[in-house]
Amino acid sequence: MTSLNEFLQHLVNTLVLGGTYALLGIGLTLIFGIMNVVNFTHGILYTFGAYIMFVVVQKFGLNFFLALPVAVVVGWLLGAVIELILLRPLRGSDIDTTMLVMIGAWIAMQSATLWIWGGVAKSVPAPFPEEPLVLGAVSVSWLRLFVLVAAALLIVLTYLLINRTKLGCAMRATFQDRDTASLMGVNVDLVYTSTFAIGSSLAAAAGALLGPVYVVYPEMGDLASVKAFAIVILGGLGNITGAVIGGFILALAEELGAGYVSSGYRDAMGFLIIIAVLIFKPTGLFPRAERVG
Amino acid sequence: MKSWLGIVAVAALASVPLWLRDPYLLNALITTGIFIICAMSLNLLLGFTGQLSLGHIAFFGIGAYVSALTSLGFDVGLPGGFRIVHEPWPPMTGFALAVLASAFCGYLVGRLSFRVRGAYFVIVTISFAEVVRLVALNWVELTQGPLALTNIPPMEIGWAGLESFVFRTKLQNYYLVLVVAVISYILIARLVGSHFGRAMRGLMENETLAVSVGIDVTRTLTLAAVVSAGIAGAAGSLYAHYMKIIDPEVFAFINTVTMVIMVITGGKGSLAGPIVGGLVFGLMPVFLRPVMAPEAQWIAYGGALIAILFVMPRGIVPSLTARRLRSASTASDTFVERGVKEGA
């Protein structure tokens, strides 16, 4: 009986972790899919999101629930600035060049976080009761439950943005065929900036949600970047539903790997998934290359 | 590079310890030299086949660990009650095994991942390096995990029965690194100049065209990966025996990034590029250290990478030589340009 309970507990943890992974993955799959940029700043935006949470809650003593929208907005602005300064002048250069510029930006920004806040891990206090919510055999802390709900809400909002708004329509058109979309009157520059901003705000949101669950430190985004790539590869480029499913698959693999194999190899799961998928099914598990959505 | 220019450059580098007495600077030169060897090997892949490996540090780290473990010995239990007990061997065999082990890993990665190209190849190589790092971190019985392998003996050259030479001082290690760097440079230059080198560049410029004239894609790319990984493994071995301590942090992603920066800023596809880029970025921290906080140094590092890509997207060496040779473009250049236009 206990082994079953243990398994159920792993599933609950998977749900919580998978929600934030899905956010990370959606952000990156939009940027990678629409702009064809291998975005290494994704992880640092995740780190920034967590630090914004820390600053707003700890330093300014503001409400925990107010800090989350602040993180999303700051992530959005940072993303827009990165796109305007670094990517717009390089429009048309090859993917290696933009990737290296993103690596340069990542190094500079990560060192900036280290400079500003120091290397000591910070924790963000959350206004939730200490006792976890017990549902039969499994228990989940209120904070993690909040993370799951908030992540789900953001995923739904993004889905609506892509599929129900004019901007989303322009993004989908640009993904299909940039030149034709441009001929049809789509402002491709605006689409690119918006895509990068939206993707970055989702990464910041993921960091803001997971920051209080774990601790906040400057290198926390490094693994997040690569995990986001794993999710994008699993789900197929530009496929939002695929990214959500990929996020949950990665979370499940990590939970089960840590629970039943060895906790030291938790982070290896994502990489093994990447290698396996790219060897056996390079188009991702859910290829739908024709559209974003 | 013209041969007399190469001889002058080697002579200049060989004379450095004669007038430079500062041990800190000499140490920086040795580690920079080791990184330059790695950057040269990365350039073979990135500059001549166009495949960006962001897991290159894995080959370096594997070389370092294999060499260290060969010369330290180990006693490891395997599933099923087997034990592998290894008595220490001389560091020179460690060096040879490091090259072989890394080259073999290069072969595996080459075979597996040249099925995927571009951004996906990048991500496969990152994943490979991270998996190797996690193994080094978690297989404590073999690698001591985060506690690090310590007391690695210095490199030693000699045969049984004869007097052997031990590389103990910084000065000796400086020349050892220089010799290995020169050998690697000549090896890469010969390979690039051979018909394999032409096949590699043909693949990079226009794969369809290259295949249509009978170039074996997998064979060519795998050969490049094997040689590249082997040289990186040799650098790793030098590193282990010079530092005398290695931990899983050698696999850190930032080390790969450093190599890529050296290659790109120096000029990928140019034999001298990684050396120039390596000297600039390897020694930059030395000169920034007195004037900047460590974090600010890295900000400058990232900023310099972005600035060079904006100003000289092809790298320092090609940008400088292009200015001189603009009128006298070679036959292979025009072939390349035509190929690019047709491919576009």
CB contact under 8 A, A108 and B302: yes
Average pLDDT over residues B243-262: 85
H helix or E strand, kind and range, residue B283: helix B273-288
Extents of the domains making up chain A: 18-218
CB contact under 8 A, B126 and A229: yes
Mutation test of the interface with chain A: which of B46, B265, B309, choosing the one with the most A Cβ atoms within 10 A?
B309
Q: pLDDT at residue B62 above 60? A: yes
| A113-137: pLDDT as tens digits | 998 888 888 888 877 887 888 877 7
Q: What is the mean pLDDT of chain B?
A: 80
Q: pLDDT at residue A6 above 90? A: no
What is residue B235's predicted lDDT score, i.e. its pLDDT? 93
Q: pLDDT at residue B343 above 60? A: no
What is residue B336's predicted lDDT score, i.e. its pLDDT? 44
Average pLDDT over residues B224-242: 91
- A57 vs chain B: nearest CA distance in angstroms? 25
Closest-CA residue of chain B to A265: B134
CB contact under 8 A, A111 and B299: yes
Residues of chain A neighbouring B295 (CB-CB closer than 8 A): 111-112, 114-115
Mutation test of the interface with chain A: which of B299, B308, B311, B312, choosing the one with the most A Cβ atoms within 10 A?
B299
- B263 vs chain A: nearest CA distance in angstroms? 11
Q: pLDDT at residue A154 above 90? A: yes
One-letter amino acid of B161? G
What is residue B162's predicted lDDT score, i.e. its pLDDT? 66
Q: pLDDT at residue B338 above 60? A: no
CB contact under 8 A, A278 and B119: no
Q: Give the span between the Cα atoms of A161 and A157, in whole angstroms.
A: 6
Average pLDDT over residues A253-276: 81
Q: pLDDT at residue B9 above 60? A: yes
CB contact under 8 A, B306 and A282: no
Q: pLDDT at residue B340 above 50? A: no
pTM score: 0.82
Q: In the structure encoding, which two tokens stand for residue A99, read together?
A: 């990737």
Q: What is the DSSP letter of B116?
A: S
Q: In the structure encoding, which two tokens stand for residue A150, read together?
A: 């908030």
| A37-75: pLDDT as tens digits | 889 899 999 999 999 999 998 877 778 888 889 999 999
Nearest to A282 among B120, B126, B310 (CB): B120
| B116-154: pLDDT as tens digits | 666 677 778 888 888 888 888 888 777 777 777 877 778
CB pairs under 8 A between A and B: 120
Confidence category of residue A25, pLDDT binned at 50, 70, 90: very high
Q: pLDDT at residue B196 above 50? A: yes
What is residue B328's predicted lDDT score, i.e. its pLDDT? 52
Q: pLDDT at residue A160 above 80? A: yes
CB contact under 8 A, A267 and B134: yes
CB contact under 8 A, B310 and A89: yes
Of A177, A234, A283, nearest to A28 (Cα)? A234
